[in-house]
Amino acid sequence: MDPLTIEGAYAFTPSVHGDDRGSFHEWFRPDLRDLTGHSFGVAQANCSVSGAGALRGVHFADVPPGQAKYITCVRGAILDVVVDIRVGSPTFGQHEAVRLDAGNRRCLYIAEGLGHAFMALSDDTMVIYLCSTPYAPEREHGVHPLDPDLGIVWPEGVEPVLSAKDAAAPSLAEAQKAGLLPDYRECLDFYRRSS
């Protein structure tokens, strides 16, 4: 498990064991706490199938309880992006992108309070992810993934396709002004209490 530049985000590249039958690898173990310092109980498992250019996010949930995610791509490829939306964080407004695909089998862990988005890079891309809390629409929010202030460089030659909800999401500045974004210190307190 390798920490990314944004606190609370980690990339994991599993060992893949292959032979003439195919391959095998562990993509998740419940000992994330030992590796990240964050407790992670699985409350929901999601599967997303997308066409090339489908852009989902930037999504996040109110903290507490927030929603941590553990993501991998089992078919096709995505550019997965973590955005630090925690007001007061030393990396507030910054992001980090990681390519997840069926070949590299990488996984990404994203702690509560961080924003998450991904773009499918090929048709029929399948992403599976585990969530620490169930989906609750009343505490779910978004930031527009094409907000120029975020500076996310999405792949060239792939036209972004957004849902109506994501297309109507506020910019980072608008979300901050509206009081939608999590507070960095409150997130740190939450991490300590839950680990």
For strand 95-101 and strand 77-84, is the pairing parallel, antiparallel, or unpaired? antiparallel
List C-alpha distances in Å: 140 to 13, 74, 165, 169. Answer: 29, 25, 11, 12
The residue with tokens 């791509």 is: 73
Tokens of 136: 């609750």
Catalytic residue among 10, 38, 59, 95: 59
Catalytic residue among 10, 70, 109, 129: 129
Whether 59 is catalytic is: yes
Query: What's the half-sphere exposure (Cβ side, CA atoms, 13 Å) at 122?
Result: 13
Whether 129 is catalytic is: yes
List C-alpha distances in Å: 84 to 65, 111, 150, 161. Answer: 17, 10, 10, 23
User: Active-site residue numbers?
Assistant: 59, 129
